[in-house]
Amino acid sequence: MKSLRHKITIGFTGIAILVVGLALFSIFELRLMAERVASGGRINDFLNTALEIRRFEKNYFLYGQEADLAENASFLSQGQNLLRDHAPVFETLTGKQRIAQLQYELEQYRRLMATYGQGPADDTLAQGIRNSGKQITTIAEELAGTERQSLQAMLDRHRRLLIAAALIVSIMVIGIGRWMSQRVGRPLKEMEESMGAVAAGRLTQLEMTAGDREIASLTQAFNHVLRELELRQGQLVRSEKLAALGTLLSGVAHELNNPLSNIGTSTQILAEEVGVGETAYLKELIEQIDAETWRARHIVRSLLDYARDREFRREPVPLAALVDETLRLMRGRIADKARIKVDIPADLEVPGDRQRLQQVFINLLNNALQALGEQGEIAIAARLGTAHPESGKLVFGHCPAQAGSIDISVSDNGAGIPAAVLPRIFDPFFTTKEVGQGVGLGLFIVFEIIEAHGGCIAVDSEPGQGTSFRMRLPAPKS
């Protein structure tokens, strides 16, 4: 897959090549112009030399001084040298034939002047010199005029080429800009519209219309965010359902409490009415009804305590009784899957909120049951602080001092947790379970409850060996 950076680089490289090409073309044209200006300088030098030749010619005819004749001969030699040394420049302007004529006139002029300077004044010879000099001057002026016209034409051509090159570069820059806008702007515009749809509540997946690596990565990241939003939305819906279920549970428990109370009262009255002569079997049945009725009432009371949403209230909580009550609530799930071992002193109490501590045990037991598979063992233990939970374990929260603490552990011999996952297990909405199996809030709630009690929690796990959660809570103040 091509990279957007690669395409942008190609676009700007093309623009740079155009600009450099235009600059090189301008330099080349300026060099030609410089050469033409230098050629024009030689033409002007020849014209000036021709005019000097004619000036000293006139002076000699008027005053007959040998110095003027010598100057005339000197400038004549300069003119012939210029014509000989720079013949290609002169031929470019007017052609070889015209230059040959000019060379002939210069040589003819030299002979005529030499003859005129050696003998007495001769009007016919003087007229021939004037005619030859005029021809030389005429050709020189034609050369100068042609040079000026050529230079002006070159300037005009250079101006037109620069304008054309600037237009071409501008058109190509605009074209490259539009191409980049189509390749970059259109996918980003589509992403902007999709984000607007997300803001409006419509979770629409982006179609990958661009083949650029960066756009494709951005599209995939955006679609991943949308999938996560959909997942979290579903999790929040399930959380709302759980909250509604708690409300319903509370109402059902209230409704069950009244008939259970009536059954219990009626059973006690019936037990008192049974005479001495009644069968022992009838008495046993009445006692069983009464016991099961009280058991049902106790379960209903536990459900009410668990479902009730109330403020944090710290009180002495007997741990053994709390764990026993929690196990009764979860007996339906535990019976066929796990063996439970409980090792908690009967008199051990922890200051805390009974409902929230029960929620900690429910969440940890749920996780342990899911990790066990078909069969396994769960161990719940609690002691006064004897060992530091930080030893060789991953600890979350601030642990109280060892001397004034209670250590609680919930361990299983299930599948365990991979080491790469351990640091994130208390993050909200983090779960390794399949969609619909959990929302990733159980351990987060456990950590928040333990932290609210001023304690810490450590986790130690080996894949295939099991997991142990160890909590340290402050002990009751003596």
Which amino acid, 194? S
Q: Which two tokens stand for residue 63?
A: 């005053």
Q: What is the dihedral of CA 395, 472, 431, 237, to 10 degrees?
A: -140
CA 157 – CA 63 distance, rounded (Å) = 50
CA 90 – CA 71 distance, rounded (Å) = 24
pLDDT of residue 252: 66
Q: Judge if 178 and 319 occupy the same domain.
A: no
Please, is 259 exposed, middle or buried when counting C-beta atoms within 10 Å of its C-beta (0-12, 13-18, 19+)? Answer: exposed
Quick count: other Cβ atoms within 10 Å of Cβ 165?
Answer: 17
- pLDDT per residue as tens digits for the range 168-226: 878 887 887 787 777 667 767 776 776 676 666 666 666 666 666 766 777 777 777 77
Is 299 part of any domain?
A: no
Domain boundary (154, 184, 214) is at: 184
- pLDDT per residue as tens digits for the range 414-449: 888 888 888 888 777 666 665 445 556 678 888 888
- pLDDT per residue as tens digits for the range 46-57: 999 999 999 999
Residue 404: give its domain's CATH number: 3.30.565.10
Is 296 part of any domain?
A: no
Strand partners, 460: 468
Phi, psi of 473 (to 5 degrees): -120, 150
Mean pLDDT, the chain, whole residue set: 79
372-377 average pLDDT score: 79
Domain boundary (155, 184, 213) is at: 184
pLDDT of residue 249: 61
Give the β-pairing of 349-352 and 315-318.
antiparallel
Q: Cα dihedral sign for 50, 54, 55, 60?
A: positive
pLDDT surpasses 90 at 372: no
- Side-chain-side CA neighbours of 231 within 13 Å: the count stands at 17
Is 297 part of any domain?
A: no
Domain boundary (162, 184, 206) is at: 184
CA 416 – CA 426 distance, rounded (Å) = 15
- Side-chain-side CA neighbours of 127 within 13 Å: the count stands at 3
pLDDT band at 269 (very low <50, low <70, confident <90, very high): confident
Nearest 5 degrees, angle CA 106-CA 107-CA 113?
85
Is 96 part of any domain?
A: yes
Is 158 part of any domain?
A: yes
Structural domains of the chain, count = 2
Is 145 part of any domain?
A: yes
Write the DSSP string, 152-183: HHHHHHHHHHHHHHHHHHHHHHHHHHHHHIII
- pLDDT per residue as tens digits for the range 34-77: 887 888 888 899 999 999 999 999 999 888 899 999 999 999 99
Contact criterion met (CB below 8 Å) for 469 and 394: no
Is 159 part of any domain?
A: yes
Please, is 52 exposed, middle or buried when counting C-beta atoms within 10 Å of its C-beta (0-12, 13-18, 19+)? Answer: middle
Is 336 part of any domain?
A: yes
Domain that holds residue 377: 313-474
Contact criterion met (CB below 8 Å) for 337 and 374: yes
Q: How far apart are the first and last CA of the chain?
A: 71
In angstroms, the Cα distances linking 328 to 60, 264, 281, 358, 434 are: 144, 20, 28, 12, 28
CA 9 – CA 15 distance, rounded (Å) = 10
Q: Cα dihedral sign for 68, 74, 75, 79?
A: positive
Contact criterion met (CB below 8 Å) for 417 and 463: yes
Q: Which two tokens stand for residue 153?
A: 């034409």
